[in-house]
Each structure stands twice: as C-alpha cells, then as structure tokens.
Amino acid sequence: MARGGLILACATFVAWTSACDETTSDPSVLWRPAGPVPSLSAPIRPLDRYVMAKRDERCVVEVLRDDVVVETLEPDYACPRDLEMGERIRLTGMVCMREGGESAERNVPVVCPNPLTNAERDRRKAAAPKDGG
C-alpha cells in the first residue's frame, strides 16, 4: 500500500515538472505588474466649520465656510477661562482645537464647550430631511 502511494507521488511530481519545461524568451509573460493602484476618494468633509471666538468679554459661535464667517449664532456665551482675546476654539470632528493665539504652544486640543457642540448638532438636525414615515 505504501509502495502504491510512493508511485503515485512520483508520477504526480514528474507530471508537474514536465509542465514547467515550456520556456519563453519574453519575461513579461511570466510577470505583469498589476498597474497603478486606483486612488482612494478623499473623505467627505462638511462645508461648514464651527468656531467659538472670544469677542470682548463674551464668546460667540460662528459658522465659517472657506474661512469666511457666514453666520454668527445668537446668543453670546460665557467664554472658557483659558481662552484669550483673539483666540478661538474650532470644532474638529470629535475634538476641539484652540487656535489663533500669539504662540504655537497654545494651539492644542481642548475640551469642546457645550454651546459649540450643541450649535453644530442643532444646525445639522435642522438641515436633515424630515422623515416622512
């Protein structure tokens, strides 16, 4: 029984290696590059950006499009204690960034103020299509 298995293995090996006898002078037949990798589409980013900017002693929530203020939301709010004049807090996905300070050291992630996240949420809900069901 073991001898029959050995003969079968040898016959398979001979058949397999005889198929490799075909040679070609064109190496491109043996290997072809897959071609360029299709580019992935860029992530879809919202058009509007929400910032809380310090104006005098109070802060306002502004809606920016292409870094231009398109709307200032009412009312104004108390500013976070560490926000200095001329700085703003920008909502960036799930985090907020403090930016616009005198030094780059102040441009750091911060806790998002509730008025800023609430304004973004409320405007997004208002712009969503109403469910007809």
Neighbours of 91 (CB within 10 A): 21
Contacts of 35 (CB under 8 A, 6+ apart): none
Cα atoms in the 13 Å half-sphere on the side-chain side of 83: 29
Tens of pLDDT, residues 10-52: 666 666 666 555 555 665 566 666 666 666 766 777 788 999 9
Cα atoms in the 13 Å half-sphere on the side-chain side of 15: 6
Contacts of 85 (CB under 8 A, 6+ apart): 54
Q: How confident is the model at residue 1 (pLDDT cuts 50, 70, 90)?
A: low
Tens of pLDDT, residues 99-129: 987 788 888 999 999 999 999 999 888 888 8
36, amino acid identity: P
pLDDT value, residue 50: 93
Whole-model pTM: value is: 0.61
Q: Identify whether the C-beta of residue 88 lies closer than 8 Å to the C-beta of residue 100.
A: yes
